[in-house]
Structure 1
Amino acid sequence: MTGQVSFDSHARSVLAASVEYVNRLTPGYSGGVAYAAPADDPDSVTAAVGQALTAIGYPPKSAVPVDDARRLVGLAARMRTVFEAAAADDLDSAATEINELLVDTNARPQLDRGRDRPWSLHFHGPDEQLANGWAAGCAAGLALAVGSDLAGRLGVCAAPHCDRVFVDVSKNAQRRFCSPQCQSRVKAAAHRARQQPTN
């Protein structure tokens, strides 16, 4: 596939949220070092969810409710399986998990309109609760990606000791790393390996 990826603004927002939730709320490796998920204490988990929302441009107006934060941590673990399956080209597993997420989140399609913007398709939860809205939106965003020719755009970092996820919106669909830092680490390691004398 060539050309710029065309996710609408809502799909971009919920896919960006999916990436932030997975990368901030699930354990693993990040940039070559072990990464711990936030502790289950209320302050840690609500702060991590607040940071994820702020990173995508939706800073919470008040403290994130603890129950919502814990639900989003559980959602992040499930979304990680979607990214990993899609990156491994196992679209059957990715689609199965997404279908379960769509049912569990009760994602409801709705046409919404922003100020000075045309109508566009959004997905909402059954009510205005923070976790319900984001859970439904993220599930639907992943469904839109996997259910189209953009499934290959969901990735897991290829750098050693990093399993952070990303959505590849590059023109040539060749992104392999979660960040420029991981790409630089790999290039620097390859350069050092070439400089080693051979015996």
Structure 2
Amino acid sequence: MTGQVDFDSHTNTVLDAALGVVNAVVPGERRGRPHPAPADPVAAVGAALKAANSAWSEPPDRSAAESLAGYASRMHRVVAAASAGTDTGMDTACDEVNRLLRETGATPVLARHDGEPWHLHFHAPEAPWDISWAASMATALAIVLGEPAAERLGLCTAPACDRAYLDVSRNGTRRFCSTACQNRVKTAAFRARNSARPPKGTGAEG
């Protein structure tokens, strides 16, 4: 698939928030180093949401942050399955998203708040903070998985990194979660090529 990937602005923002929370709170590896679960989930989740939209606030309490972190772990598994590039992987990803949609009671509803015009949300108006976010994020992932853009959802291919990304570039060739990981791989390849060359003056270079 080629061409710029772009959903409506709300979906784009929620996707950014979903992947940001996933990358912030799910234990694993990040940019060549171990990435443990955050000691302060409220701050970690809040920072990820604010990075996606500066108007969003931190979770109301630790319990809400930990609840959303639990959903984020499942979303990470969704991305991992989808990025496998197999029918089985996509089946696994879609089945898990369907479970998330059911569990969170995701449902379309028009809402108006904070001086904004009417716009579409995907959670019940009375849903608690963590459930409303999980429902919205699951819906955003469902939108991606239901499109050809699903092949652009992936985990970083750099060594010692398993952070998630959505490739929105025009040519669809992104394979890393960040420029930092891309540069790590390029540097390692450069050093490997240099180490394979015979030292100058040995006559081995031909």
The reply to whether TM is greater than 0.5 is: yes
Cα deviation digits, residues 83-128 of structure 1 (max 9, x gap): 00011021100000000000011111124568786x6543124525
Cα deviation digits, residues 27-66 of structure 1 (max 9, x gap): 1110000010113xxxx12111111111112455466322
1:34-183 equivalence runs, <5 A = 34-39=34-39, 44-58=40-54, 60-61=56-57, 64-89=60-85, 90-112=89-111, 121-125=120-124, 127-183=126-182
Mark the CA change 1:159 to 1:63 in structure 2 (over 3 Å): closer, same or farther.
closer
Letter in 2 for 1:122: H
C-alpha separation between the residues in 2 aligned to 1:12 and 1:60? Answer: 15
What's 2:30 paired with? Answer: 30
C-alpha separation between the residues in 1 aligned to 2:34 and 2:13? Answer: 27
C-alpha separation between the residues in 1 aligned to 2:76 and 2:58? Answer: 27
The answer to whether 1:18 aligns with 2:18 is: yes
Mark the CA change 1:63 to 1:153 in structure 2 (over 3 Å): closer, same or farther.
closer
C-alpha separation between the residues in 2 aligned to 1:63 and 1:136? Answer: 15
C-alpha separation between the residues in 1 aligned to 2:54 and 2:64? Answer: 15
Mark the CA change 1:132 to 1:164 in structure 2 (over 3 Å): closer, same or farther.
same
Mark the CA change 1:113 to 1:7 in structure 2 (over 3 Å): closer, same or farther.
farther
Taking only aligned residues, the RMSD between alpha carbons, in angstroms, comes to 2.0
Letter in 2 for 1:178: C
C-alpha separation between the residues in 2 aligned to 1:61 and 1:84? Answer: 28
Equivalent residue pairs, number: 194
Mark the CA change 1:193 to 1:158 in structure 2 (over 3 Å): closer, same or farther.
same
C-alpha separation between the residues in 1 aligned to 2:58 and 2:43? Answer: 11
Determine what percentage of the aligned residue pairs are the same residue. 46
Matched position secondary structure for 1:155: strand
Asked if structure 2 preserves the Cα contact closer than 8 Å seen for 1:86 and 1:94, the reply is yes
C-alpha separation between the residues in 2 aligned to 1:20 and 1:102? Answer: 19
Is the radius of gyration larger for structure 1 or structure 2?
2
If the length of structure 2 is used for normalisation, what is the TM-score?
A: 0.86
How far does residue 175 in structure 1 lie from its aligned partner after superposition? 0.6
